[in-house]
Amino acid sequence: MLMETELLTKIYRQERGWLSGTEQVVAVDHVSLKLVQGTTLGLVGESGCGKSTLSRLLIGLERPSSGRIMYRGTDITGWSSRRLRPLRPRIQMVFQNSCASFDPLLPVERIVSEPLDNYNRLTRKERMREVLDLLSLVELDERYLKRYPHELSGGQQQRVGIARALALKPELLICDEPFSSLDFMLRKSMLQLLQDLKIQRHLTYLFVTHDLSLVPELCDEVAVMQRGRVLETVPAAEMAEASRHLYTRQLLEAIPAQTPRSRKKAERSWKAIYENNQG
Amino acid sequence: MERGAMLRIRKLSVQFGSGEEAVEALKNVNLEVRSGTITALIGESGSGKSAAALSVFGLLDRSGRVTAGEVWLDDTDLLRLKPSELRKRRGKDMAMIFQDPVNALNPVLTIGRQMIETIRGHQRVSRQEARRIAVEQLARVGLPEPDKQLGRYPFQMSGGMCQRVMIALALVSGARLLIADEPTTALDVTIQAQILQELYRLSRQDGIGTLLITHDLSVVAEIADYVYVMKKGRIVETGHVLDIFERPGHEYTKQLMESRCLRVNPAKETAMRQGG
């Protein structure tokens, strides 16, 4: 067991205004999850269901209101940032909007090497080799070293974000919608990269997404989240058969067709125009 | 009756920058959109899809210019219109929706204010009449309680609701050509399904001709009728959606269709490890 949560809860208090007091928002509601080393857990649900808050709790960016977080059997709930520091390289995150997580004034070279500088002592040469290795993993090269975030396309930014997350050779990689801005060709090669690393480095993933079409390919298990709660955790390969919740079925139902012939709605016919065309 | 094309792009070439640094974003592009159908333009990021859409609207930024070609909307070559004439046609005859609906709306104005402003920009109607049209439009795109929505701000709405507002705004002045640039990329799957259904209904029931720009092949599989495949600014293949998916001719289209299958290859790594 790499990481585990027990009845993890996060409550935000919102000021409603003068005299009217505060309102509670339960973003994460008694969530118990297990992350087994070398496996991928998918976390699916609509926006606002608490997926991102949960991943921020795991990485230590937020403190839970109650419940426990265990790392390799040790309770790390509420540890100070100084105590957490040695753990940080082991748990890294790829953000949905990588660009927002970059310093706009730093070139790609510095963005990727910053974690290295923070945790390792490397000579300039070693560092450069490391950075180039990381960039080549995500199919970028030395031409990008001096570029600034705004000079990169969305897909390139996302890949730099992945390279940075891999810099410290983490054990657990939390990916929050990492591919939503990538086109299909890149998406496939990044999926292959994550899969290769999983085998090569025995990496563990928490894969946060609303795109269920990625789930069977990438995940071993899926946790379905709705309004802060994990409704159920099912094996990814048999999601349709194993799910007991209507909500999971609705999510599955919403995946668009993979071919024109399997269109979800029968009335979205391609036939009329096709036959019209042929004749 | 044979439905003619409402939008015809003929031999369009677009260049960004000038001199030695010039980049050809579009090369000799031919494309047609018929009313009542959904035409998809697909390609990787950077292939020139959006440049094609923007040149139809005369919205290329300053470094970009059309070097050759024609863009016919019904009987007018849009490229020969004066900016003021072109502006009149935007909204009235053609409209566009974008990837990020929340940011495309003005954050400090209510939905009602933005809609009424748009309606009165194109039609000579009283404020009250404009309000009535706005409510009708919001109902048409499937927003619940449309009269209440008018008083809300974009940040009070979900991404899916904002995209519906965008579609309503786009079509409020009677546009029959809708260019949708990645309309569902920023949305959840469940909301995406609803918006796709909406775009489909608009094309079939109201006869809207839609140019759907996307890199998401499942969106194409779900609602498109015709497909144009673009690579590096050129159209490499075009055809009915069934033909493109089932009998792709061009090598690039075949690659695209293969990338749709997300199955990654676990054998590759073991082979590499044994080799190393």
pLDDT of amino acid B269: 41
Q: What share of chain A is helix, strand, coil (3-state, %, to 5)?
A: 45, 25, 30
pLDDT averaged over every residue in chain A: 87
* Mean pLDDT computed over A14-38: 83
Task: For residue A15, give the H/E element and its range.
Answer: strand A3-17
Domain boundaries, given as residue ranges, for chain B: 5-275
Q: Which two tokens stand for residue B70?
A: 């024609």
**For residue B39, is pLDDT > 90?**
yes
pTM of the model: 0.78
> How do beta strands A74-75 and A91-94 pair?
unpaired
Q: How far apart are CA A147 and CA A135, in angstroms?
A: 13
B44 vs A183, A214, A251: nearest CB: A183
Helices within chain A (DSSP H only)? 51-59, 81-84, 108-119, 124-137, 154-166, 184-200, 215-218, 239-242, 246-254, 271-278
* Mean pLDDT computed over B81-104: 86
Residues of chain B contacting A212 with CB distance shorter than 8 Å:
189
CATH class of this structure's domain B5-275: alpha beta
* Mean pLDDT computed over B192-204: 88
Say yes or no for a CB contact (<8 Å) between B189 and A254: yes
Cβ neighbours of residue A100 closer than 8 Å, sequence gap 6 or more: none
User: HSE on the CB side for B106, CA within 13 Å?
Assistant: 11
Say yes or no for a CB contact (<8 Å) between A211 and B189: yes
* CATH of the domain spanning A3-278, picked from 3.40.390.10, 3.90.198.10, 3.30.300.10, 3.40.50.300: 3.40.50.300
pLDDT of amino acid B17: 82
pLDDT of amino acid B261: 67
Q: Which residue has the higher pLDDT, A13 or A10?
A: A10
* Mean pLDDT computed over A36-62: 89
* Mean pLDDT computed over A67-74: 93
Tens of pLDDT, residues B106-157: 999 999 999 999 899 888 899 999 999 999 989 888 888 888 889 999 888 8
Tens of pLDDT, residues B203-214: 988 899 999 999
Q: Which two tokens stand for residue A250?
A: 């609705």
Say yes or no for a CB contact (<8 Å) between A47 and B270: no
Euclidean distance between the first and the last CA atom of chain A, given in angstroms as a whole number: 62
Say yes or no for a CB contact (<8 Å) between A195 and B273: no
Q: Which residues pair with B64 in a beta bridge?
A: B16
Q: How confident is the model at residue B179 (pLDDT cuts 50, 70, 90)?
A: very high
pLDDT averaged over every residue in chain B: 86
**For residue A63, is pLDDT > 60?**
yes
Which range, A78-82, A95-99, B256-260, has the best average confidence (pLDDT)? Answer: A78-82
Say yes or no for a CB contact (<8 Å) between A191 and B262: yes
Q: Scanning every residue of chain B, which has its alpha carbon at the shortest distance from the alpha carbon of A196?
A: B269
Q: Scanning every residue of chain B, which has its alpha carbon at the shortest distance from the alpha carbon of A182?
A: B45
Query: CA nearest B170: which of B204, B129, B138, B125?
Result: B138
Tens of pLDDT, residues A113-133: 999 999 888 899 999 999 999
Task: Give the DSSP letter of residue A257.
Answer: P
The values of phi and psi at residue A35, to 5°, are -110, 110
Query: CA nearest B176: which of B208, B203, B199, B201?
Result: B208
Tens of pLDDT, residues A190-221: 888 888 888 888 899 999 987 787 788 889 99
Say yes or no for a CB contact (<8 Å) between B221 and A270: no
Q: Which residue has the higher pLDDT, A266 or A262?
A: A262
The SS3 of residue A63 is coil
Say yes or no for a CB contact (<8 Å) between B259 and A185: yes
Residues of chain A contacting B263 with CB distance shorter than 8 Å:
217
Query: CA nearest B244: which of B265, B260, B262, B232?
Result: B260
Say yes or no for a CB contact (<8 Å) between B240 and A187: no
Domain boundaries, given as residue ranges, for chain A: 3-278
A174: left (phi over 0), alpha (psi -120 to 50) or beta: beta
Q: Which parts of A36-78 are beta strand (E)?
A: 40-44, 66-71, 74-75
pLDDT of amino acid B123: 85
> How do beta strands A3-17 and A21-35 pair?
antiparallel
pLDDT of amino acid A274: 66
Q: Which parts of chain B are beta strand (E)?
A: 5-16, 23-34, 38-42, 64-73, 76-77, 94-97, 177-181, 209-214, 226-231, 234-240
Q: Which two tokens stand for residue B124?
A: 């000579």
pLDDT of amino acid B244: 94
Query: CA nearest A256: which of B156, B183, B5, B142?
Result: B183
pLDDT of amino acid B30: 95
Q: Which two tokens stand for residue B202?
A: 């608009």
Say yes or no for a CB contact (<8 Å) between B225 and A255: no
Query: CA nearest B46: which of B12, B73, B16?
Result: B16
Task: Give the DSSP letter of residue A49.
Answer: S
- Chain-centre distance of CA A68, in angstroms? 21
Q: How far apart are CA A239 and CA A251, in angstroms?
A: 11
pLDDT of amino acid A221: 94
> Are the CB atoms for B48 and B25 separated by under 8 Å?
yes
Q: How far apart are CA A153 and CA A156, in angstroms?
A: 5
Interface test with A, best of B188, B203, B238, B257 (most A CBs within 10 A): B188
User: HSE on the CB side for B187, CA within 13 Å?
Assistant: 29
pLDDT of amino acid B271: 40
**For residue A4, is pLDDT > 90?**
yes
Task: Give the DSSP letter of residue A143.
Answer: G
Q: Scanning every residue of chain B, which has its alpha carbon at the shortest distance from the alpha carbon of A255?
A: B189
Q: How confident is the model at residue B1 (pLDDT cuts 50, 70, 90)?
A: very low
**For residue B58, is pLDDT > 90?**
no
Q: Which residues of B sit within 8 Å Cβ distance of A?
A: 37, 44-46, 158-159, 185-186, 188-193, 196-197, 200, 215-219, 221-225, 240-242, 245-246, 255-256, 259-260, 262-266, 268-270, 273
Q: How far apart are CA A193 and CA A140, in angstroms?
A: 13
Q: How confident is the model at residue B274 (pLDDT cuts 50, 70, 90)?
A: very low
Which range, A97-101, A203-207, A242-246, B195-199, has the best average confidence (pLDDT)? Answer: A203-207
**For residue A241, is pLDDT > 80?**
yes
- Chain-centre distance of CA B24, in angstroms? 21
Q: Which two tokens stand for residue A10?
A: 């996060």
Q: Which two tokens stand for residue A126?
A: 């070693």
The values of phi and psi at residue A209, to 5°, are -160, 160
Residues of chain B contacting A263 with CB distance shorter than 8 Å:
221-223
Cβ neighbours of residue B71 closer than 8 Å, sequence gap 6 or more: B7, B8, B9, B10, B12, B55, B56, B77, B78, B79
